[in-house]
Amino acid sequence: MYFLIENSLDLLKKGFFTKDLKHRTIKSDLDILMTGLVTWVGRSSIEVTMHLSQKYAKDEYRGVLTARFVMVTLDPKTQKAVSNVPLKLETEQDKKLFEKGEYAKQVRRSREEMSLYKNPPTEIERAMLHDLFLKTMDNKNHSLDRLPAGHVWMNDAKVENMVICFPIKRNMYGKIFGGYLMRTAVETAFANAALFSKSNPEVMAVDSVVFKKGVEIGSLLVLQSQISYTTDRFMQLSVSAHVVDINNGDSETTTTFQFTFRTDKPVPVVLPQTYSDGMAYLNSRRHFNSSAHL
C-alpha cells in the first residue's frame, strides 16, 4: 500500500473573461455533477482532472470549473517516492488528455526554471517596472513617493489571519487536512479582495497551490494575503501559510496559494515601492496571464 500526497492544485472557473458574471456562478438550487479521472501518470506523480457542472435542464449540464490535482506516490515507511503503474491509453481521447497532462508538467517545470527567485525579470518586465516607477515621480517636488489617483501602494493591500490547528481538522496521516488549509486561504484572500475592491468579489482561478510541508496538529498558522497585481476588474492575490514557533517566533512556510478574483467594476491599480514588491508584482502578473490563457 502506498500513500498519495497532494502536491499541487490548479483550478479554473469557466468563462474567465465572460461579461456575464452570473453565467458561471455556482448556484445553490441546482444539482451539481462532479466527474474526474486520472489523466496523466509520471514516474512517481499522478495528475487527476476534475470537472464540476450544474444541471440546468433535463439533459443540459453547464461546466462551471475544472481542477487539476497533482499527487506524489510515497512509501509509507520510507517516505520516498515510488514508481507508478503506467497509464494505459486506449482511445484518442485518452491520448489527448495525457498530452494535456504532459504539457501541464512542462509548464510547471518551465515556470520553476524561469522563476524570479532564480532568474532576473525579462527585458519587457524590467521596462514595465520602470514605467511604474515613473508614475511615482513628482518632478515639481523632486520626490519619488507620489501616489497617482486610482492607485494604491502594494503595502496597503494586504491582510493577515491567524488560526490554531485543532485535531478535528486532521487527515488520515495525522496532519492538518489540506482542504481546511485551502478553505482558510480562500477566506483570507476573499476578505483581502473585498476590502480592497469595496465589493463582493468572485474567485475565478486558483493557480499553483503548493503544499511544501505538512502542518502539525496544534500549530499556530499565520496566513498572509497580498494583492500584488490588478488590471481592470481583476485582482491577483498571493497567500502564504506559515507555521510559527511560539517559543522563539521563528516561522516556516508550509503552503503557498495564488488566487484570481473578479469584481463587477474596475479596481485600483497596485503600485510596488521596493524591489521585492516589484518581483511580487511581476510574479502575480505571470500567474494571472497563465490562468487567463488556460
Number of Cβ within 10 Å of residue 292's Cβ equals 17
Give the mean model confidence (pLDDT) for residues 76-105: 89
3-state secondary structure of 145: coil
Mean pLDDT, to the nearest integer, of 113-130?
93
What letter would DSSP give residue 116? T
Judged on CB neighbours under 10 Å (0-12, 13-18, 19+), 182 is: buried
- Tracing cell 514588491 back to the chain, one arrives at 277
Decide if pLDDT at 15 tops 60: no
Check pLDDT > 50 for residue 1. Answer: no
Q: What is the pLDDT of residue 61?
A: 87
Residues of the chain with CATH 3.10.129.10: 12-114, 147-292
* Average of per-residue pLDDT across 139-146: 78
Sheet strands side by side (includes 45-57) = 32-41, 45-57, 60-74, 3-13, 202-211, 251-262, 234-244, 220-231, 158-164
Lowest model confidence (mean pLDDT) among 83-92, 178-187, 262-271, 285-294: 285-294
pLDDT per position as a tens digit, 210-257 = 888 889 999 999 999 999 999 999 999 999 999 998 888 889 999 999
Structure confidence at residue 13 as a pLDDT band (50, 70, 90): low
Q: Once rounded to an integer, what is the mean pLDDT over residues 154-171?
A: 95
CATH architecture assignment, domain 12-114: Roll (3.10)
CA angle 157, 158, 162 (to 5 degrees): 165
CATH topology of domain 147-292: Thiol Ester Dehydrase; Chain A (3.10.129)
Mean pLDDT score of the chain: 87
Give CA–CA dist 259/240, Å, rounded.
11
Q: Round to whole Å and give the CA distance between 219 and 214.
A: 11
